[in-house]
Amino acid sequence: MYLSPSLFLLQDPAVIKGLSYLKRFVGNIKNTYTTALLAYTFSLAKDTQTRQQLFRKLEDVAISNGSHLHWSQSGSADDSDSLAVEISSYVLLAVLTTDSVSTADLGFANRIVSWLVKQQNAYGGFSSTQDTVVALQALSLYATKVTVTVQSAGDTHHFDVNQDNKLLYQEKQLQNIPAKYSIEATGSTCVSVQ
């Protein structure tokens, strides 16, 4: 399943009626995937009350491991499968799809991103096409309008992340290894550096 944010820009009576129908069942949902998908749906629809109700359910089933946070259908902490990546990505999208993202929201989002980037393969993708599409959409929303500077004694590298290149994987070779490097990020949201 994939949601198109552009659907919510239309004040289409069918979309409004569909949201109203879905809202009736929010209290009875037991499926983590459905809960995450609806949290993102109601975030896009700017229905903060329903969004918060769904977030409370998600917080109850979150799998927390130090600085990492994720969700799975089975509830298993070892669950790093494609569905766990997709569920966690929808939660990240829901967290970041609001008019004002708070510092607490960014801290929460950072824990999800920390888990997600550990699931990436060597090519920047994930297990399947579906989880890769949703995860990259979530990660790109997380990392817009940021400049990262990596410095050592003789090296300086700049990475600019913006709306035009937010889906682009950026990499530069570090010349002085081993060495101490400093990383500085400036911008209006977060970025993940590996």
CA distance 66 to 62: 12
- Closest to 83 (Cα-Cα) out of 139, 132, 28, 43: 132
User: Cβ-count burial of 30 within 10 angstroms (0-12 exposed, 13-18 middle, 19+ buried)?
Assistant: exposed
Q: Which residues contact 30 (CB under 8 A, 6 or more apart)?
A: none
**Sequential pLDDT tens for the chain (194 residues):** 555 555 555 577 888 898 899 999 999 999 999 999 999 999 999 999 999 999 999 999 999 999 999 999 877 666 568 999 999 999 999 999 987 777 788 889 989 999 999 999 988 889 999 999 999 999 988 877 567 788 887 788 887 777 677 667 788 888 878 888 888 777 666 666 77
CA distance 54 to 119: 25
| pLDDT tens-digit series, residues 168-194 | 778 888 887 888 888 877 766 666 677
Q: Helix axis angle, 129-142 relative to 103-119, nearest 10°?
A: 140
- Closest to 98 (Cα-Cα) out of 39, 32, 154, 46: 46
- Closest to 32 (Cα-Cα) out of 108, 92, 93, 87: 87
CA distance 110 to 104: 10
Decide if 70 contacts 112 (C-beta within 8 A).
yes
Provide the CA 8 distance to its chain's centre, in angstroms: 19
